[in-house]
Amino acid sequence: MLKPVRGTHDVLPEEMRAHRHVSDTARGIAECYGFDEMATPIFEFSSVFARTLGESTDIVEKQMYSFVDQGGDKLTLRPENTASVARCFISNGLAQLAPLKYFYSGPMFRHERPQKGRLRQFHQFGVESIGVSGPQADIEVIAVGNQILDVLGIRKRTTLELNTLGDGESRTRYRKELVAYFNDHVNDLSDDSCRRLKQNPLRILDSKDSGDRRIVANAPEFNDFLNPNSADFFAKVRAGLDLLSIKYEINSRLVRGLDYYCHTAFEFTTTQLGAQSAVLAGGRYDGLIESLGGPSTPGIGWAAGIERLAMLALDVPKSRRPIAIVPIGADAEAPALKLSEELRRAGFRVDIGDSGSLRKRMRRANRVNAVAAILMGEDELAKETFTLRDMESGDQKSMAAGSIVAQLSRYR
């Protein structure tokens, strides 16, 4: 039996409605906050992700879908979109237009072990605020995510976890102490964490290995190494969230391991998706654009998995119920086709059976969950009328052909 590739799946109409509900809701709210939609190519030069995600990260080492094209270029299907947005900012010379606020929606690709809420082709909605160095951007970016989750009916089932990574000076001091601490426990660390200790020690803090987690529990905390500037920045972010009544919890182990991340890091997490707890996550990345060769430009953003949000969303709109056109006899086929087009242009959803007896066509009307059926037979054609059957009550009535759009308004 022919199946989709492992870690991918077909999105059929019912699930697609949930996806569309999530993305449409997010689009509308992001626009209210002044963000504009943009899109980047699905694949980039591999160096875009290797330089921004870090050569030692799991994504680059194990999860990227990379290939060499016919021209010899090494390309990668995007595993995330922030790096692509940063590349776009540089490629299009957008620095002179900053500050800029973008949102995007589209597929991403990672070779991970498939499980609930985790696919190898998945979809993300994200926002990026570029060019504002002050905490007001952090507050706004978190606020738009909070509002999207709230409108989708998800926010009450999530926890906003918040942390600060400080500025470069604070991070350097903390890294030094952290390396010294982990060196004292190097014999008990996992192989992955031993490798990270040399390349990216902050990433040990979010290790999922049980032995690592016991060691991490007593590791130095970032807050003890914040300089006054970093502490003040974080205090202003928290004050802004308090002002907007956005509840949060401090998680001192929430980190972003790469050097261009700084100050605010955050995740909205839930307990309703098994091992995949994060539904929306982001942080400040003031050094990202510079790491790609662009001008020093501050930025902050987040991304959310559309599949995960769709699993949690409440009140997903149902499909509009159609009006079924039921021609009876060959002479009614052409008038039925003409009527169906008239109703569609007037904004109705219409289903017209392509063949079969009256009984067969009415069975189809029930199968497509039609709200009403319009019967067109010899008598109706002779009198220039239609017979309207309400599919809920079973009531029927005759109506003049010329007034049909107005008489169907309650079924729109």
146: its two tokens: 């909070």
Is pTM beyond 0.85 here? yes
Per-residue pLDDT of 341-368, as tens digits, reads: 999 999 999 999 777 788 888 999 999 9
Per-residue pLDDT of 249-262, as tens digits, reads: 999 888 876 667 89
Q: How many CB atoms lie within 10 A of CB 317?
A: 10
- Strand order in 396-400's β-sheet? 350-352, 323-327, 372-376, 385-390, 396-400
Per-residue pLDDT, 60: 57
What is the distance between the alpha carbons of residues 77 and 69, in angstroms, rounded to a whole number? 12
Per-residue pLDDT, 257: 62
Per-residue pLDDT, 32: 98
131 near 100, Cβ under 8 Å?
Answer: yes
What is the distance between the alpha carbons of residues 167 and 262, in angstroms, rounded to a whole number? 6
What is the distance between the alpha carbons of residues 252 and 174, in angstroms, rounded to a whole number? 13
Per-residue pLDDT, 259: 65
The pLDDT of residue 55 is above 70: no
What is the distance between the alpha carbons of residues 312 and 396, in angstroms, rounded to a whole number? 41
- What 3-state class would DSSP assign to 127? strand
- Write the CA distances from 333 to 25, 132, 172, 228, 363, integer angstroms: 40, 63, 77, 79, 18
Distance of CA 276 to the CA centre of its chain: 14
Instruction: Give 365's contacts (C-beta < 8 A, 6+ positions apart).
Output: 324, 326, 351, 353, 373, 391
Distance of CA 358 to the CA centre of its chain: 45
- Ranges of H-type helices in 67-189: 82-91, 135-151, 168-183
- What is the per-residue DSSP string for 270-332? -SSSTT--EEEEEEE-TTHHHHTTS----EEEEEEEHHHHHHH-SSPPPPPPPEEEEE-SGGG
Which whole number is the average pLDDT over 65-79?
A: 93
Per-residue pLDDT, 168: 87
- What 3-state class would DSSP assign to 344? helix
- Strand order in 66-68's β-sheet? 43-45, 74-77, 66-68
Q: Is the peptide bond before 79 cis (omega within 30 degrees of 0)?
A: no
According to DSSP, the residues that pair with 304 across neighbouring strands are 125, 280
Per-residue pLDDT, 171: 86
Q: Which domains does the chain have, with CATH numbers?
A: 13-167+227-312 (3.30.930.10), 323-411 (3.40.50.800)
